[in-house]
Amino acid sequence: MLPIVADADMGFGTLTGCMKLTRSFVEAGVAMIHIDDLAMGLKKFTNGEGRTIVPTSEYLSRLTTVRMTFDIMGLSLEEGKKAGKDYLTVKAEWTASAGLMTFDEAVKTVATEEQYKAYIQEIGRGTVALQDRRAAAKLVTGKDVVFDWELPRTPLGQYMWQWSTKAVIDRCVLVASLGDVTWSRQGHPADKKDMQEFHAALREVYPDRLFAFGYTGAYDFSKGGYSPEEVETFPADIAKMGLVWQVQPIWATQGLSLHAKQFAEKFKKEGIAGYMRDVAAPAIAGMATDKYGKPTSRGGYLADAFFDVVGGEEITEKI
């Protein structure tokens, strides 16, 4: 694949914006970017003023920010070219070799089976701070467990976080009292059990808790362990767990994209005839009209009523 040279325009914001933009480009696999020395929002082509440039010091700051971001991410254009690896590849290799784990998993690597059971019993079922977990681990194993969550921290201050149902439950229990509804969603093919565990755990602490659920278009129910019959009864089944509001927000992109693709394929094969038969005709047949036979969805009658009012007529319903 040919290397991508991206137009970063003016950096889209402050120096922080330049930094984030550069990082996003690198993560997307862009080989090179270029930054303008123009002022934000001052491109004018109709009055002869053209473009407004920023002071040299400001432009230098932009370029320094970009260069520093490359360096922080360990990227040199020449070194990257020689190694033949992009940022995402390096990141994936590092993640595979870094041995990322939770503190409990770290305890498990140094404890015997009996010691680990004793450790879990010692910390109990509630939310336990790291310092208390350290103390419990040392009490049971007699060792200081090596664990430092600062080591894998990213240049932007982000922490690597090992996802688990327990971690999500702990977080939701802590914040539940600050809101009325807890929103959940499914994002992994094997989380049928996780979903049930999540809602049951929160209901154990807050028996009357209300929940919302967002269906995601990319979620494959069959891979999540659901039978066709379970998919049909899914809305009613999760309602029994306290999910009072269920929404499918992805149709706006997924559904329209599918229809656009189908339309394009049909238009390519059959032209306007296929469009009129399969799109226009059904749409017109089911379309509400005003007393003049015009589609009300277009709002023409509202525009006419507006002009009538401007002309001095009383406001009346004209449909």
Q: What is the pLDDT of residues 129-142, one digit of tens each?
A: 889 999 999 999 99
**b/e burial code for range 252-268 (CB count within 10 A of at least 16 → b):** eeeeeeeeeeeeeebee
Higher pLDDT, 10 or 192: 10
Please tell me the predicted confidence (pLDDT) of residue 4.
Answer: 81
Residue written as tokens 């009864």? 233
Supply 60's token pair.
């230098």
- Asked whether residue 112 carries a pLDDT value surpassing 60, the answer given is yes
Please tell me the predicted confidence (pLDDT) of residue 263.
Answer: 84
| Backbone dihedral angles phi then psi of residue 92, each to the nearest 5 degrees | -65, -40
Query: Residues at the annotated binding site for Mg(2+)?
Result: 7
Query: Residues at the annotated binding site?
Result: 7
- What is the pLDDT confidence band of residue 218, given thresholds at 50, 70 and 90? low
- Contact (CB, 8 A) for 112 and 137: no
